[in-house]
Chain A
């Protein structure tokens, strides 16, 4: 038995297996990451989603009502991975973008106790955030200024909201494969936290 989801893709409704959904979403996010910063991105994504919807509807009939992961794999093979698109304008632009990409400080929303300041600083400096938290707590009790510094940092450091920002926070170059990996990691996190919740019941 498998759980299915209902999705709206290019204006059509599909029932899709959970694993197939995760694979499709991962793929679409990867393409979106590839074209991020392009002014045509919405048009491109729209056309691609329309085409995928069309290919999916060919794989649906009264005897087979659910999209399974094999359908998605077939479609990805037809559509191709972003790096096979042979899109030179985009590739040239990306290269210059990589070079300018540096490590930046953000607050880490996925690794936080209060505002994610220590999580973000830890990612920036390559230090375990727990050590920073201990230092802040000591500074709070020992010298009384820890809290003030923390609050100031909380205000001035922006939160890492997008996938690209989270990758920048770790100091890795923002490219297609990194975004792909990151999205996959996030899905795995969500999956395991779901499983964790189920076990707790």
Chain B
């Protein structure tokens, strides 16, 4: 049986939510990694930035995201991530199940 310590459970919950939030951020427009990080940090979803990169790469390889290089006003070109059609579908499904989950937890927790 996997160990059930609180940090472990919390981190697993956060990871699912994190993937959901990355897709949500990108659904509002393409962004490069630092934009995404800024938003996630503002909402205190990530503590260290390193958390984001493996998630981005996996979502990209799963066909949910794509990226392109764009010139930037200062510094080197930036890697912009965008949601693919598949990613859009995925996000819609996540959205629906998220609402269900929140309702379910509320109804049980508040009794």
Contact = CB atoms under 8 A, between A and B. Distances in A.
Asked if A and B are interacting partners, one says: yes
Interface of A: 10-12, 31, 35, 38-40, 43-44, 47-48, 50-51, 53-54, 57, 78-82, 84-90
B11 interface: yes
A53 B54 contact: no
A80 B76 contact: no
Q: Is the interface of A mostly helix, strand, loop or mixed?
A: helix
B110 interface: no
Contacts of A47: 33, 53, 56-57, 79
Contact of B34 (A12, A51, A82, A89): A51
Q: Is the interface of B mostly helix, strand, loop or mixed?
A: helix
B51 interface: yes
Minimum-distance CB pairs A-B, first 10: A80-B48, A40-B57, A43-B57, A80-B50, A86-B11, A47-B53, A11-B76, A85-B50, A79-B50, A44-B53
A82 B48 CA distance: 10
A17 to B, nearest CB: 22
A10 B14 CA distance: 29
Interface string B19-36: 000000000000001100
Interface of B: 11-12, 14-15, 33-34, 37, 47-51, 53-54, 56-58, 60-61, 75-77, 79
14 contacts: A10-B76, A11-B76, A12-B76, A31-B50, A40-B58, A43-B56, A43-B60, A47-B53, A48-B53, A54-B75, A78-B49, A80-B47, A84-B50, A87-B54
